[in-house]
Amino acid sequence: MASTDPTVRKGTTRTSTDGEPAPRLPHEHDESSDSGQSEPRDVIRQAHDDVESGKTETDRGEVTDELYRKTLKGEPGSR
């Protein structure tokens, strides 16, 4: 049944419980047809600006993974 509410755009996902509007669940936010309609968030804009200005990643995941492979996982020749 199509909505007659002029504020509801065609293709937007709306949740209801017993016919009453209800908040969306997290997966409904991500999977809805209107999920990409908002402006970029400040944190995303900052990340973009950091990359464009040449700043490098400070994540230590690669170093930690290498240490894990060499010591805990037991790569051949690592001990």
Nearest CA-CA partner of 35 in 46, 22, 21, 25: 25
Domain residues for the domain of 33 are 15-72
Asked whether residue 10 is assigned to any structural domain, the reply reads no
Greater confidence, 33 or 51? 51
36/13 Cα distance (integer angstroms): 12
Q: What is the pLDDT of residues 63-74, one digit of tens each?
A: 888 888 888 876
Residues in the chain: 79
Asked whether residue 68 is assigned to any structural domain, the reply reads yes
Asked whether residue 78 is assigned to any structural domain, the reply reads no
Q: Tell whether the model's pLDDT for residue 27 goes beyond 70.
A: yes
Q: What is the pLDDT of residues 36-58, one digit of tens each?
A: 677 878 988 998 999 999 998 88
Asked whether residue 46 is assigned to any structural domain, the reply reads yes
Structural domain total, the chain: 1
Asked whether residue 64 is assigned to any structural domain, the reply reads yes
Whether 24 and 13 have beta carbons less than 8 Å apart is answered as: yes
Asked whether residue 79 is assigned to any structural domain, the reply reads no
